[in-house]
Structure 1
């Protein structure tokens, strides 16, 4: 329930203005750290405190279990008495559960990779307009990245990756693969080189992985989008 009678202070107004501008530009909400950087507060706990106050005042809505889930649900007036509008609605947002983790390092056995991990409260939300129109929601799934072999592809440890289900790939595709010979999974660039498969990392300190029997490489999905872990 919104708290009655509590008034905005300057930081509240700056947060609201930042949220409005950021969401209108990107069509998704900023992280707590990004909000803190804008208002000059290093403590994410303090920023979270201000956001919670705005939720209590009825200006914002958020899902505690979902990153980047802050929404403006009530217009406000800044010191110039100009009403600020809601940036986007729930109907424009797609919600995906994080179905597991995929390693971006040397392949590791499936039981240790948490590929089958599922937490019913772990979701990501993204604006529908960010997904290409030819992508069907039912063909998409999300995995959390563990490791740093794809850092030059701007995929870091803790990032969430949206995949489209696939069983085949062309050279240069970034894919999630299962290696049936060792029951291992990994995230790499795919290259078919005659009688072997090369799985190429995007990290100059790591070498490629060569699989001499292409039938042992099973494509699970192709990368569609990366959601940065900025918290």
Structure 2
């Protein structure tokens, strides 16, 4: 089936983008490149390309366009080449400490997971995600129901946003970390109505640093 000039422009841009960057463009990037201001018009043309067998779309992923080998110029790019699945291990609430995955952990071992593209998530090593419960970090633009992506690490710096396990209280909390002295750590909320939490380092276990936030709209 023949493509219209606009559909050919869209297809050619996707092909060049994938060859240059190794992952597909977003709908907005496509629209900007081919002078289409409406995302719905881009979506319409992508649907036609899919119907005609030039691409496959995964609507659950923001860069979910996969080229198919219909044209000799096109090269299929598998979803695993640009998508990483991150296990969602629980919620940050008053609960048991979050089990941190080791190097051999597979996202398939978790009951739930989220998918992010590799251009967004370039971190190496074990990472995991948690669902935020509560509004203690609203001034950091982290709201109830958002997903935070965490990375365990050996050291943490003042101002890092961390998941902190309070051993005596048996609670997990999402706060900014500040080491004020050898005997006191301040866990600072980003909500003017809430007071900071002061703890002795021996009562604290940092379970990971926030490296990304997935907002629930």
TM bin (shorter chain): 0.5 to 0.7
| Distance verdict in 2 for CA 1:94–1:74, change over 3 Å | closer
Q: Are 1:20 and 1:87, in contact at CA under 8 Å, matched by a contact in 2? A: no
Following TM superposition, by how much is the alpha carbon of 1:174 offset from its aligned partner in structure 2, in angstroms? Answer: 2.0
Tell me which of 92, 107, 114 is aligned to 1:123: 114
Unaligned runs of 5+ in 2: 99-109
Say if 2:94 is the partner of 1:99.
no
TM-score if structure 2 supplies the norm length? 0.62
Task: Give the aligned CA root-mean-square deviation in angstroms.
Answer: 4.5
Please state if 1:70 is matched with 2:64.
Answer: yes
1:61 maps to 2:48: no
Counterparts of 1:196 and 1:109, CA distance in 2: 21
TM-score, with length taken from structure 1? 0.59
Matched, 1:109 2:94: yes
Task: List aligned pairs for 1:152-163, cutoff 5 A.
Answer: 153=140, 155=142, 159-163=146-150
Distance across 2 between alignment mates of 1:180 and 1:151: 25
Residue 141 of structure 1 corresponds to which residue in structure 2?
A: 128
- Equivalent residue, structure 1, for 2:107: none
Query: 1:2-26 CA deviation, whole Å, 9 max, x = no partner?
Result: xxx3x55577567657756876887
What CA distance in whole angstroms lies between the structure 2 residues aligned with 1:167 and 1:31? 35
Q: Describe the shift of the 1:217–1:9 C-alpha distance in structure 2 as closer, same or farther (beyond 3 A).
A: farther
Residues 97, 228 of structure 1: alpha-carbon distance in 2 compared, 3 angstrom cutoff: closer
SS of equivalent residue, structure 2 residue 185: strand
Deviations 1:39-74 (A, max 9, x none): 44476xx8766544433333333335x432412414
Match of 1:175 in 2: 162
Q: Report the equivalent of 2:105.
A: none
**Counterpart contact for 1:97–1:142, Cα < 8 Å:** yes
The CA deviation string for residues 204-226 of structure 1, in whole angstroms up to 9 with x for no partner, is x35452133333322111233x2
Between stretches 54-63 and 155-164, larger displacement belongs to 155-164
Deviation at 1:198, TM superposition (A): 1.2
Q: Distance in 2 between matches of 1:144 and 1:25?
A: 35
Whether the 8 Å contact between 1:181 and 1:216 is mirrored in structure 2 is: yes
Paired residues, number: 202
- In structure 1, list runs of 5 or more residues that go unmatched: 78-82
Is the Cα contact below 8 Å between 1:15 and 1:35 reproduced in 2? no
Indicate the SS of the match to 2:58. coil
